[in-house]
Amino acid sequence: MLQPRIPVNPLPTGHPIPLTDIEPAATPAPAITPAPVPVPATTPRSSVQLTPGSAVALAAGGGAVVLVVGAVLVSMLLAVAITGVSVAVCAVVLKSLLNQERKR
């Protein structure tokens, strides 16, 4: 009842045969064997080998990263310090203005 009904067309003539109650003949699927996967040849290495040029490039890159990160952190610290000083100056000015209003 819940199985799909497929039109049966035993010969590829281009004209489909309408749906009927005839079930298609069961044909066994051909056995397909997968092709063997080639295994890449690997050479065992005990450690990473650096040439002098790549070592210099690695050291220069590391130094550049340290300088950039340091500059960013110093600028953030400077921004926080300037903000703190400006808030302190505003507080002193407001306190002075409020004290003058009380004395009058």
With respect to residue 33, please indicate whether it lies within any of the assigned structural domains.
Answer: no
Q: For the segment 7-45, what is each residue's pLDDT rounded down to a tens digit?
A: 666 666 666 666 665 565 666 666 677 777 777 777 666
With respect to residue 53, please indicate whether it lies within any of the assigned structural domains.
Answer: no
Determine the structural domain holding residue 80 and report its residue range: 74-104
Phi, psi of 72, deg, nearest 5: -65, -45
With respect to residue 87, please indicate whether it lies within any of the assigned structural domains.
Answer: yes
With respect to residue 50, please indicate whether it lies within any of the assigned structural domains.
Answer: no
Q: For the segment 53-100, what is each residue's pLDDT rounded down to a tens digit?
A: 999 999 999 999 999 999 999 999 999 999 999 999 999 999 999 998
Q: Report pTM.
A: 0.44
With respect to residue 101, please indicate whether it lies within any of the assigned structural domains.
Answer: yes
1 vs 3: CA distance, rounded Å: 6
With respect to residue 2, please indicate whether it lies within any of the assigned structural domains.
Answer: no
8 vs 5: CA distance, rounded Å: 9
With respect to residue 95, please indicate whether it lies within any of the assigned structural domains.
Answer: yes
H-assigned helices in 1-104: 52-103
Residue 14 DSSP class: S
Split into its structural domains, the chain has a count of: 1
